Amino acid sequence: MAPRQSKTAPKALPGRTLVVDNGAYTIKAGYASQTPNPDQDCHIIPNCIARSRDKRIYVGAQLEECRDFGEMAFRRPVEKGYLVNWEAEKEIWEQAFFDQNAKLKCDPHETNLLLTEAPSAPQSLQSNCDQIIFEEFEFASYYRCMGPPLNAYNNISIDSSTNNPTSSPQPSKLPTECLLIDTGYSHTTVTPIHNGHAMHPALRRLDIGGKLLTNYLKELISIRHFGLMDEPYIVNEIKEKVCFVSTDFARDLDRVWKHRRPDTAPNPLVLDYVLPDYDARQEGYVRPRDASMAGGAGAGGGEGGGGGGAEANEDVFSLGNERFVVPELLFTPSDIGMKQAGLPEMVMQSLEALPETLRPGMMANMVVVGGNAKIPGFMERLESELRSMIPAENLLNLTRPSDPVKATWLGGAKMAGDQDRMKGLLVSRDDYLEKGHSWVSRHFNATYRLG
């Protein structure tokens, strides 16, 4: 004990900490401070290497320069939420953190790194990650941790009331107990958190995320309207613009069906979507359904382009039940034959794994983060379904941070701003070189577990 203490103590840790929430779709990265500001400090970098149809290759943030997303192909180093392919990830990191003109340029020798990973990652991937961080990038010190528990460091009541700060005169600190629902690109996880630590036996994962929703929408549109199977970017854009979670699925499905004929009254549930052509139109857009167009692009699924509408060169199709059937998968995965419980039931499964006395506190502090939380109607639907499942005398409180995508990063940045806390967690490069990567994994595992 004594020699190790004396060896590490004199070498002070660098003051700067880079916080990286390495998601499958985007990297959320920025430097930690006492009071991090998500709008300025957090940069969102697409975590992909993309190739356009003119064979140009875009790495990470270079995607902003791209003007033509037709037939875009993506290579993503994070697979099912876990960092698998370091060859591609290294290139994206180099471009984001180490190149001469990188926005977040850092000297790894003078920087601490806080990196998130998805829960229950295979050990081989964890140890690959540690080795690359220390041997290739040579960060001065590093802490790898699970993403969801970091949200415990967010001051949730401040986040949700940024619009009217007067409503909470005294910013409260975080509740000791919180049930975190993280619904991201690869999967959706439920993590009960106690004092900032995950309660592992009650952690649950649903294998549905934004990626599966996009792919499902892609398939539906391709069957009914246009062949968009090779257009992941365009379909993702459609999903973000038109999809919503229905509060009454059967009613909405019937409504769309009744209004399928063009001669009936216009239906607010059915929208026309105009595809981008990357010549005159850079971005697709939504407009109310045009009855004169609908003859061609009716419920039967004819091609809208030949419908003889306002502009001859417009690719239009109408979206009806696709708008809410797709996000519905999060609530009823059995719609595509998946043998997993939906999100509300998964929350209950997770609660059942906890001692009964902890449940009321968890129910009263549920937090939803991740990109899917931004789908309109998601929170309302989740709340109403959970309300019908939990006992009436228990209080149910579901919150969403003002920016659910950056929430995990923000929590990490706040934790990293606390120097004393970080000292016990970070592993320095010297320690790694002396004790090896298996010691580092054991150290991180011990910090995961400790209560």
Residue (44 or 447) nearer to another protein, CB: 447
Among 13, 66, 253, 379, binds another protein (CB under 8 A): 253
For tokens 């990063």, the residue is 409
Out of 299, 315, 377, 430, name the contact with another protein by CB under 8 A: 299
Which residue lies nearer to another protein by CB, 54 or 279?
Answer: 54
Q: In angstroms, what CA-CA distances link 250 with 255, 257, 321, 425, 451?
A: 9, 11, 11, 50, 45
Binds another protein (CB under 8 A): choice among 84, 241, 295, 376: 84
**The one among 292, 336, 384, 419 contacting another protein by CB under 8 A:** 336
φ/ψ region of 26 (left if φ > 0, alpha if ψ in -120 to 50, else beta) reads beta
CA 436, chain centre distance (Å):
32
- The encoded tokens of residue 135 equal 């041997």
Alpha-carbon distances, residue 61 vs 44, 75, 283 (angstroms): 8, 14, 19
Please identify which residue in the block is written with the tokens 């977040």: 104
CB of 342 to another protein, least distance (A): 7
Regarding 436 and contact with another protein (CB under 8 A), the answer is no
Report the nearest approach of another protein to the CB of residue 384 (Å): 16
374 binds another protein (CB under 8 A): no
From 14-22, 31-39, 154-162, 265-273, give the range in contact with another protein by CB under 8 A.
154-162
Positions 340 through 369 that interact with another protein (CB under 8 A): 340-342, 345-346, 349, 354-361, 364-365
CA distance 21 to 408: 7
Contacts of 41 (CB under 8 A, 6+ apart): 30, 31, 33, 413
User: What mask, x for binding another protein by CB under 8 A, covers residues 38 to 67?
Assistant: -----------xxx-----x-x--------
The helix-helix angle for 210-224 and 232-242 (nearest 10°) equals: 100
Binding-site size, another protein (CB under 8 A): 132
Specify the residue, 256 or 407, whose C-beta has the smaller distance to another protein. 256
Residue 189, beta-bridge partner list: 182, 205
Q: Are 370 and 183 in contact (CB under 8 A)?
A: yes
Shortest Å distance, C-beta 304 to another protein: 15
Residue 376 sits in the site that holds another protein (CB under 8 A): no
CA 219 to chain centre: 22
Check binding of 300 to another protein (CB under 8 A): yes
- 413 scored as a contact of another protein (CB under 8 A): no
The answer to the question of residue 291 lying near another protein (CB under 8 A) is no
With respect to another protein, which residue has the nearer C-beta, 42 or 145? 145
Residue 174 contacts another protein per CB under 8 A: yes
- The long-range contacts involving 280-289, CB below 8 angstroms and separated by at least 24 positions, are 282/67, 283/237, 284/234, 284/237, 284/238, 284/241, 285/241, 286/241, 286/242, 289/318
Segment 175-194, which members bind another protein (CB under 8 A)?
A: 175-177, 189, 194
For residues 87 and 280, which CB has a smaller minimum distance to another protein in the complex? Answer: 87
User: Nearest distance from residue 313's CB to another protein, in Å?
Assistant: 26
